[in-house]
Amino acid sequence: MAQEEQTEPTEATEKTPQTKDQKDQKDLLARLADAGEQALRRFADAPGMERAAAYAKSTRKQVDDLTKRVQGISALEDRIAKLEKQVAALAKDSPKRTPARKSTP
């Protein structure tokens, strides 16, 4: 393992808050960001991209609609569970009755 030398801060290093490694990292990130932007521009200019973008937008709208429906179903399931508990409680409380017999004339 290599040990780094510790140097005392000089005026030059005190004025610049970034070290050489930080500057190199920033340069690398800037280069990556530029490359990504260029790639996105080329991707957007590709043939058929308008159609793909329209499809993606419509798919997003459909997913949003389905999400709303599923949330509605969850609410209905909660209501059903509550009603089932009420019916079960009423069934326990009421005395059991025998079904009425049909009378023959």
32-89 pLDDT, tens digit each: 888 888 888 888 888 888 888 888 889 999 999 999 888 889 889 999 999 999 999 9
Residue 53 lies in a domain: yes
Structure tokens at 72: 């509605």
Distance CA 28, CA 21 (A): 10
Q: What is the pLDDT of residue 83?
A: 96
Q: What is the 3-state secondary structure (H, E, C) of 85-103?
A: HHHHHHHHHCCCCCCCCCC
Residue 99 within any structural domain of the chain: no
Print the domain residue range for 47. Answer: 20-93
pTM of full prediction above 0.75: no
Q: What is the pLDDT of residue 1?
A: 46
Q: How many domains is the chain built from?
A: 1
Say how far apart CA 90 and CA 72 lie, in whole Å: 27
